[in-house]
Amino acid sequence: MNAVDTALTGKNAVKLISGNHACALGAIAAGCRFFAGYPITPSSEIAERLARYLPEVDGVFVQMEDEIASMAAVIGASMGGVKAMTATSGPGFSLKQENIGYAAGAEIPCVIVNVMRGGPSTGMPTRPSQADLMQARWGSHGDYPIIVLTPASVREIYSESIRAFDLAEQCRSPVVLLYDQVIAQLSETVALNSAANVSHTERKGASGPRSAYKPYDGGSDGIPAMARPGAGYRTHTTGLTHSEDGFPTQNPEAVTRNLSRLFSKLERHRDLIDSFEALRCDDADVVIVAIGISARAATRAVELCRAQGLRVGLFRPITFWPFPETQLRQAVAKAHGVLVPEMNTGQLRLVVERVLAGKPVEGLHLFSGEAISPVDIATRAAALARGA
Amino acid sequence: MMLIETAANFDVRDYLRKEMMPHFLCPGCGHGIALRALLWAVYDLGLDKDKLAVVSGIGCAGRLSAYIDANTFHVTHGRPLAYATGLALARPDLHVVVITGDGDCLAIGGNHLIHACRRNLKLTCLMLNNEVYGMTGGQVSPTTSETRLTTTTPLGNQEPHFDACALATAAGAGFVGREVTHHVPKLKELIKAGLEHPGFAFVEVLSDCTEIFGRKNDMGSSSEMIMRQKSEIRPSAYLDTVDTPFRSNALPTGILTKNSRPEYGAAYRRAAAARAGAS
């Protein structure tokens, strides 16, 4: 049997696989045909899988000399018109940031997987954390838009890795798939779609005569059409601030006009980008806000609290950036307490406090390299629900 | 005869983005001569501009891509070889050329250079060496000669300077060559040979930075700088062995290294096809 599971070329299948395995299969299903990476725990299984899968689908895998080169090669491949991805973990994610900013500024679609491990610095390579929420949003210099997805199960890693490519292509943006070491290396059953059942979203291509084409004209939806090298448009792509024609400019009006389009690009497509889960929030006195493995524990905590007759719900951002602010406000409208369990010192809590300004928000923060237990979350949520 | 014919028929304006003129290079800068030689080589080989991709980094050399009427990518500092590696692997139908400078290629991008040499993917890397960081105002670079004054070596440079061609040869590059801007037709022929090489080709052009480096070191006009370079070269010395990666005063020029190691992209695709056939 080929390394690419028959599920992708033949019929649907249910498989017991790890999160990183699901990520690689999702990428292939989404049409990813280029991967450049550098070994790093706990994401290396993604590279190892794709090193086997990509040559079987006429794609290319390359292990580059470092993390920086991996990010650069991915952007280079995407500039060539090929869907491309890299995968890394904290220290590597830091190294990739300058080029992620280039992809954001030059609007090159690409997918970056960051499997979060304990930090700071080398930290705990084999232990989970959720401490890269802010780095995923603000890691590169300057203002820029970016999409960050935070799946919470192996099944969701598969579906979100497909969605990551769709959003990258549709929005011409880097998309970060951000999940923790626990779900990366946890095995769960996943219903894999056959290739025929996965719809591919392609970037909007350039059309019409070369003289009329402007590579950074946002058109009606703020997302410029992208010319494929070889199609006769012979465009210029630069990390310098550029005008609609793609060439560098420092003209204040042109700079403001083009950066305004860039900065508002994702906000204009929130309907496409937003994704969240609200579990039993309608009548909740206490709403837990969590992502990733902490949300899995929180789901169990909701059950434990409900069994005691306590009205506790869970709000879970699946698209983390841009943050589902309106949806969170709606979910906690009736609640008097909000609890944020997370494996860091308060990155998600900071966002929730800002969005729910004035409402008391409690944090439950664990950075010992362990996952937060359902009982610990339930105990705190129950105390909040009882008004203790 | 051939040279005279192509020189007469070649019009550099056919390969430039005229709307980008005037260019931003300083008077006397050798980079324009190197750009002309590259485009002349492209013309001589009859390369399709639509299939030509030029990737450049940051610095004076990095800005040249914007002037070329091709698919051009001005990327991050030091990384053009890494971007080009992704582009060339994903699109083997494109002819990918990298334009880089001595700081871009040998300092911040040094890791990418040695691994591009080792990997041997079909790319042509044109490194314009002006011995200085010109764009940022004249700081010392990995190729600044000993004792030279720069804004960050007020005592004179005490570090040895790289011989980029020896470095590329030692790292395994299949094609390595060097030329000066004084010899434009020879430079064009060297770049042509690099473009035609089936693997990774490294071409160093000794350029001159008159305004910043030359002025700081009392090196005279650009013509004086170019004539000094000409006096230092030793044409067509072959680098059979590399004893040191540092530059000596006698500079070999011409094609210095040439071998026919397997090209990486084709080797990868062959291996993938063989695996597909076996399963």
Confidence of residue B1 (pLDDT cuts 50, 70, 90): very low
State the pLDDT at residue B91. 98
Is the same domain home to A302 and A159?
A: no
Average pLDDT of span A187-203: 84
Burial class (CB in 10 A: 0-12, 13-18, 19+), A334: middle
Please indicate if any CB of chain B lies within 8 Å of the CB of A238: yes
Q: Does residue A352 form part of some domain? A: yes
Between A180-184, A196-200, A384-388, B26-30, the lowest mean confidence (pLDDT) is in A196-200
Count of helices and strands (H, E) across chain B: 10, 10
- Total domain count, chain B: 1
Residues 255-314 of A with CB under 8 A from B: none
pLDDT tens for each residue of A309-324: 999 999 999 999 999 9
Is the same domain home to A166 and A284?
A: no
Q: Does residue B162 form part of some domain? A: yes
Chain A residues within an 8 Å CB radius of B53: 80, 229
CB atoms within 10 A of CB A155: 18
pLDDT at A9 over 60: no
pLDDT at B249 over 70: no
Pair of tokens at residue A294: 């902490």
Please indicate if any CB of chain A lies within 8 Å of the CB of B266: no
pLDDT tens for each residue of B250-269: 788 999 999 999 999 999 99
Q: Search chain B and give the residue with CA nearest A35.
A: B86
Q: Cβ contact (<8 Å) for B75 and A82?
A: no
Tell me which DSSP letter residue A369 carries: S
The residue type of A263 is F
DSSP A60-80: EEEE-SSHHHHHHHHHHHHHT
Is the same domain home to A178 and A57?
A: yes
Least Cα distance to B79 among B51, B52, B49, B59 occurs for: B59
Is the same domain home to A144 and A51?
A: yes
From A197, A217, A249, give the residue that closes a domain: A197
State the pLDDT at residue A1. 42
Q: Range of A25's domain?
A: 6-197
Instruction: Compute the half-sphere exposure of residue B193: CA atoms within 13 Å on the CB side of its CA.
Output: 20
Please tell me the distance from the alpha carbon of residue A135 to that of residue A97, in angstroms, as a whole number: 9
**Element holding A350 (H helix, E strand):** helix A347-355
Answer for the pair A10, A59: CB distance below 8 angstroms, yes or no: no
Q: Does residue B214 form part of some domain? A: yes
Residues in Cβ contact with A257 at an 8 Å cutoff, skipping those fewer than 6 apart: none
Most confident of A169-183, B230-244, B252-266: A169-183
Between A87-101, A295-309, B71-85, B225-239, the lowest mean confidence (pLDDT) is in B225-239
Q: What percent of chain A has pLDDT above 70?
A: 96
Task: Report ipTM (2 d.p.).
Answer: 0.97
Pair of tokens at residue B159: 């570090």
pLDDT at B8 over 90: no
- Total domain count, chain A: 2
Q: Cβ contact (<8 Å) for A247 and B94?
A: no
Q: Does residue A117 form part of some domain? A: yes
Average pLDDT of span A254-263: 98
From A151, A172, A197, give the residue that closes a domain: A197
Average pLDDT of span A361-374: 98
Domain harbouring B39, CATH code: 3.40.50.970
Please tell me the distance from the alpha carbon of residue B107 to that of residue B149, in angstroms, as a whole number: 19
Least Cα distance to B88 among B51, B57, B49 occurs for: B51
Total count of residues recorded for chain B: 279
Domain harbouring A115, CATH code: 3.40.50.970
- The radius of gyration of chain A from alpha carbons, rounded to an integer in Å, stands at 21
Confidence of residue B278 (pLDDT cuts 50, 70, 90): confident
Answer for the pair A343, A128: CB distance below 8 angstroms, yes or no: yes
- State the residue for tokens 């930090």: A119
Dmax (CA) of chain B: 68
State the pLDDT at residue B242. 67
Distance from CA of B12 to the nearest CA of A (A): 17
Give Cα B178 distance to the centre of its chain.
9
Q: Range of B232's domain?
A: 29-278
Please indicate if any CB of chain A lies within 8 Å of the CB of B87: yes
Answer for the pair A291, A136: CB distance below 8 angstroms, yes or no: no
Is the same domain home to A15 and A118?
A: yes
In chain A, what are the helix, strand and coil shares in percent, each to the nearest 5? 40, 20, 35
Q: What percent of chain A has pLDDT above 90?
A: 93
Answer for the pair B109, B57: CB distance below 8 angstroms, yes or no: yes
- State the residue for tokens 């699109």: B91
